[in-house]
Structure 1
Amino acid sequence: MKSNARRRKHNPRIPAHIDQGRIPAGVYFDHRGHGRWYLLHRDEGGKQHRQNIADARATLSELHRIVEQRHGIDRHSLRYLAERFHQSAQYLELAAKTRTDYDYCRDTLLELPTKLGKPLGNLPTRQFTPALVQRLVDKIAAQGTPSKANHLLRYLRRLFRWGINRGHCDSNPAAGVEQARERQQRRLPELTTIAELTKFAQQRGQRARGEKGACAPYLWIVMELAYILRLRGIEIVTLTDANSTTDGVLTNRRKGSRDNVVGWYPRLTSAWQAATDRRAAIWKGKGRPVPMHPEARPLIVAADGSELRKSSLDTAWQRLIKMAIEEGVISAEQRFGLHDLKRRGITDTKGTRHDKQQASGHRSAAMMDTYDLSVPLVPHPGDD
């Protein structure tokens, strides 16, 4: 983030061991006498005050530490380590999807409660041990989210490794910790279940935002597109007008899958039109200009008209599922994820296994064992 503060002029009276370009904002040097470093701040009435903080022998790192302590920043905490990592060039060079995953892991870890009465992010990094991290992984996995536990573990390994290499910590307590065992779920929701939940989402999406029993109005559209286009959630929220072609919808698959065009037919046209109508109404209501280029016009937008984030979609989906179970629309055993709609769409695709592979975009035929759960009809042996 760029600073609007004016760049300091070189001061020949500042001690030579200080890099003047890295002096903390608001810190100044008084050369009179033996020399003192001081801070300037204003009180509630706007009156300026001076506070001496160090003598001329202070190092640049000491000046930074003093300023951070005044702002309540603990340089030895997990929170500080994470903040430094997320500001680093190594983090900024990561793929956008990886940064999003790391942001989620950071936000989750830093606010986890501890027995000490303070969030995990406030603990000093030296208090982290393999045993502590293992308990953390086991606890989160025991809540029914082993995948989440493993995501957090991988993030901690990366975070501490970065910290060791740059002198922020001495060891990597996440190294060697056992991963949670993930159950391989291959849920295939019934078409009647999908239809009932889609209808429920469409009805509840018409309720005013904040009204009891309301859900995100875009959820039923996302469900339709996930099934019809056989896409993941992240692939749906990144669709734009550029994906709409004369022949159909051009997919934007990840993980090395091949793109294809799903031809227009009434059900797909209806879902796509509903998304564009909703977006147009939001943009008009918010007074937002319509971007000129089609790739800058996201199909699914948030309530404020901006591009919908995958994390927001995940949260809205979980709320819908919880509400549907509580109100008896579906049972707890019938619950499924957005990704399962892709599996259902691939399974329901007509044709041979090769036809289904083309529709799914998978490069490997082996992946069809995960996504195609249909039972093939084969001829009997011998003569009729």
Structure 2
Amino acid sequence: MARPRKAAPNLPPHIDHTLLPVGIYWDPTGRGRWYVRPPHEEGYGYRKKTVAGPTARMSDLHAIMEARQGEAQRGTVAVVIDRHAESLAFAQLKPSTQAGYKDYAGAIKAYPLKNGTTLGEATVDRLTPGFIRRLIDVIAQGRPGQKPGDPAIPGYPTKANHWLRYLRRVFGWAREHDHVTTNPATGIKQVKEKGDHRMPDVDVFRRVQAYAKECSARGPRAKGAVPAYLWAAMELAYQARLRGIEVLTLTDAHVDGEMLRTNRRKGSRDNLVRKGAQTEEAIAMLRARRAAIWEKNGGGDSDPGRGPLSLRQPGRGAVDRGRLADCLGAHDAQCGEGRRSEPGRAVRAAQPETPRCDGYQGRQESGQWAQDGRDDARL
């Protein structure tokens, strides 16, 4: 028969040591803590594992020991997450979403708590909204190292919000299926995330641009070749912070001496960008490419009989006099044939402010082009 337990000098006064569950022990050092002795991972001896602090109630200690006994773990964060991963709701998600949730699940179950346990071992019904709030704030703000000399853990606001949304979803599903009775993540507000800086560093951009320029010289049929205009389009987009559609709709009219005038979308205001040597080189390259394409098809920029064309839908129609080859277009519009060539992005002719034509004007809704000799040809 086991000897009766003796009360420790600093045992919490609300704990009756004669009613403690089997297998849980009190450590009187410091403020005190409750621990268990699971077998050591290396196969010999035991190790102490903290499961609760000095403020734990008798009911908490009994629940902890019940949760550590096989099927009695029902209702813990780890078990609820595993049940959700086996559910129909999880199976109906996209594969990419499932992969993301699996990453969250592994990190959440292994997240260490101050009492020496992990978040996966915590019982969902014993968690409070305040606990979830503090958890999300710690992840968003970061925290110092757990031991002296340990590096500080940086904050990740985006990660905190991802965890919050995932926990809210899992706990809500578990409540609907009677795995738990509460959802402590309900009503918790997300933290403010940092603005996403979408532009790469200059040195990184220059290396990528140099590689694109190298690949553009390989020829149209060579392995790894890219369109010759790609590096120039990259330069305009990077220097002027342009969207793709804003690069496509630049015209000669937007080049004003040493400045480049933007044509913003989505309500953004236009602005002037001072051109540097790289920008001048990109503009000159696009103009030279346009002139070469026009010259190849029987005319040039200075040909008075061939005005620039307003291109509505590349590759779907033609006019009886000349055409504008798409320097950055999805197709090359072949005059009279509608024949397609290599894919790319289009820098098309500017639309006339007042629809006019000299002897011919196609209908816009039919995909034809309207000719206006006064239009400024786009870069």
After TM superposition, the score normalised by the length of structure 1 is 0.37
What TM-score does the superposition give when structure 2 sets the normalisation length?
Answer: 0.37
State the structure with bigger RCO (CA 8 A, min sep 6), 1 or 2: 1
Bigger radius of gyration, 1 or 2? 2
More helix by share: 1
